Amino acid sequence: MAGEQSEAQLQIRFVTKQEKYAVPDSPYAIQSSVQSAELNNLVNAILKETAPTIEKAVVFDFLVCGELLCTTLAEHLQQKGVSTEETLDIEYLERFPAPTPQDCLMHDDWVAAVHTHNNWILSGSYDNSIHIWSTKGQHKLAIPGHTSPVKAVSWVSFNGDQAVFASGSHDQSAMLWVWNVPRNSVDCVVTCRGHEKGVECLSVSADANRFATGSWDNNICLWSTSLSDEDNVPAKKRSKPDHGNTREPLTTLKGHREAVSGVQWMDFNTVVSSGWDHLLKLWDCELGGIKQEIAGNKAFFDVDWSPVNNSLITASADRHIRLYDPRSTESIVKTTFTSHTGWVQSVRWSKTRDTLFLSGGYDNQVKLWETRSPKTPLYELSGHEDKVLCCDWSNPSLLISGSSDNTLRIFKSKHAVENA
């Protein structure tokens, strides 16, 4: 059979959307048993003739029938059920370069939350503290304040020397902090109290005016991020001496029947939330009502929304990552990505590339996915020795994941060429 395959020939034509790598539109006859490496050599050889300006060899990925070529061409076509008789269009694009491990930030306890903004990494830990790191791996601050594991952290804004960030914890509160960068001092400005149970997730809106928290009490609360709170807090609450001021939620979105595990802003007015009750809900923040509901069949652990391609990606209590399109009225999964061997706890879209996302699972793996290859991830970012609890790709060049082996691992991705 191998002999047969090696003998089988097929006609291909190379297509690309990246103009600088364009090759003549002439068909080539190749063996059907080739893999992407051989195709890569071929394209590079052609490029050398046609475009001598490109000096270094470029590594390409090949899209056949809308899916990334991972096996031999023959097997791929057989899976897709495509005839080998006709001329095949193979699209190629520059491969996303492999991320390289850059750093490993040691914590005292499990790392439950992480968020980056430009050069600063914010991490929340099970030892009730929040840590600020620089992207170079320098530990800036350890901030105690919460009385329970910090489950969610997020940068809110950078304003010159002053940086604002929010944190949510299982002590049923979310806190708004101000970090003075030059002085490296941090101050808890506002404590947000309103949840009956621990805060599980937190998300800041794009305009940085509000943030939403999801909690184990099945509610989502929307809070203001303003540091001065005269406008929206009753006077008697202000007298609490604890951690500065206490704040009450702007809106409470009630509707989930079980814990809210993930919350994300879709635009200035819409929040998407995932719950343990197998539901994804899209909320209208102005009205405080549900815009849309998508039902899954497993408890959701995390959700992320990409403004680049308007898709939702979810992690749930099984091995699969599911891609939903919120615009479709039926809650049909568009794609299921299966490679993890344990629960997937966290998923994050790339901020710049519409087809890439990151996932971290309980099988100690962080995986970089391409939406067009649902069976095989692009890269497996291994290194963690225990369950990966969180991951982050807010800084396009840094792939960060926190794990229950008390480490935060940073992978650096060389900025690949933007999609055409």
Tell me the per-residue interface mask from 352 to 391 with another protein, x by CB under 8 A, - otherwise.
----------x------------------------x-x--
Q: Is the Cβ of residue 324 or residue 362 nearer to another protein in the bound state?
A: 362
Report if residue 405 touches another protein, rule: CB under 8 A.
no
Residue 44 bridge partners (DSSP) = none
Three-class secondary structure of residue 92 per DSSP: strand
Q: Choose which of 80, 197, 375, 415 interacts with another protein (CB under 8 A).
A: 197
* Contact status, residue 396 vs residue 123, Cβ threshold 8 Å: no
Structure token pair of residue 284: 């209208």
H or E stretch at 43: helix 36-50
Q: Choose which of 67, 127, 171, 392 interacts with another protein (CB under 8 A).
A: 171
Structure token pair of residue 149: 């594991």
Report if residue 299 touches another protein, rule: CB under 8 A.
yes
Report if residue 89 touches another protein, rule: CB under 8 A.
no
Report if residue 301 touches another protein, rule: CB under 8 A.
yes
Tell me the per-residue interface mask from 222 to 251 with another protein, x by CB under 8 A, - otherwise.
------------------------------
The Cα–Cα gap between 220 and 204 comes to 13
* Contact status, residue 68 vs residue 93, Cβ threshold 8 Å: no
Report if residue 140 touches another protein, rule: CB under 8 A.
no
Report if residue 300 touches another protein, rule: CB under 8 A.
no
Please report, for residues 130, 206, 218, 350, the alpha-carbon distance to residue 272 in angstroms, rounded to integers and kept in the order given.
Answer: 25, 14, 14, 18
Give the footprint of another protein on residues 265-284 (CB under 8 A): 276-277
Residue keyed to tokens 């933007």: 418
Question: Residue count at the site for another protein (CB under 8 A)?
Answer: 31
Report if residue 333 touches another protein, rule: CB under 8 A.
no
Q: Is the Cβ of residue 34 or residue 303 nearer to another protein in the bound state?
A: 303
Write the CB contacts of 96 (distance below 8 Å, at least 6 apart in sequence).
Answer: 61, 353, 356, 368, 370, 378, 413, 416
Report if residue 404 touches another protein, rule: CB under 8 A.
yes
Q: Choose which of 18, 78, 148, 376 interacts with another protein (CB under 8 A).
A: 148
Three-class secondary structure of residue 38 per DSSP: helix
- Dihedrals phi, psi of 48, to nearest 5 degrees: -60, -35
Which of the stretches 146-154, 233-241, 370-378, 411-419 binds another protein when contact is defined by CB under 8 A?
A: 146-154
Q: Is the Cβ of residue 345 or residue 407 nearer to another protein in the bound state?
A: 345
Structure token pair of residue 346: 């966290």
Going by the DSSP 8-state scheme, the letter that residue 20 receives in this structure is G
Radius of gyration for the alpha carbons in the chain, expressed in angstroms and rounded: 24
Q: Choose which of 297, 328, 336, 382 interacts with another protein (CB under 8 A).
A: 297
Which of the stretches 85-93, 114-122, 292-300, 328-336 binds another protein when contact is defined by CB under 8 A?
A: 292-300
Give the Cα-Cα-Cα angle 106, 353, 310 (nearest 5 degrees): 110
Which of the stretches 27-35, 58-66, 117-125, 166-174 binds another protein when contact is defined by CB under 8 A?
A: 166-174
In terms of Cα–Cα distance, which of 96, 97, 106 is closest to 384? 106
Report if residue 298 touches another protein, rule: CB under 8 A.
yes
Residues engaged in binding another protein (CB under 8 A) = 110, 112, 126, 147-149, 170-172, 196-198, 216, 258-259, 261, 276-277, 297-299, 301, 317-318, 342-343, 345, 362, 387, 389, 404
